[in-house]
Amino acid sequence: QLIKAHGFVGSMSRKGNCWDNAVVESFFGSLKQERIQWHHYQTRREAQQDVLHYITMFYNSFRLHSYLDYQSPNQYETAWKELREVA
């Protein structure tokens, strides 16, 4: 009701179907295991900057993703754009 009252559309499917959030849950699991659990941040800003750095400098640039045929998101996107230009 709260979602509808604010004009949003919920992203959840029927009860018991967990696939909607699988990608996000996987990302947050990686973030926690690979970065956050090893750091003790002094300020919220320090945490925000570190997470931003993790996403832009490691997760998207170097970390290999099995669902992208073991490429980084940046590599996958570049290859996809090149394929579109050829077609």
pLDDT of residue 86: 85
pLDDT of residue 26: 86
Cut 0.75: pTM above it: no
Helices vs. strands in the chain: H and E counts, helices first: 4, 0
Q: How many C-beta neighbours within 10 Å does residue 47 have?
A: 15
Q: What is the mean pLDDT of residues 53-78?
A: 92
Q: Which tokens belong to 31?
A: 């973030």
| pLDDT higher at 74 or 67 | 74
Give 20-48 pLDDT, tens digit per residue: 677 788 889 999 999 999 899 999 999 99
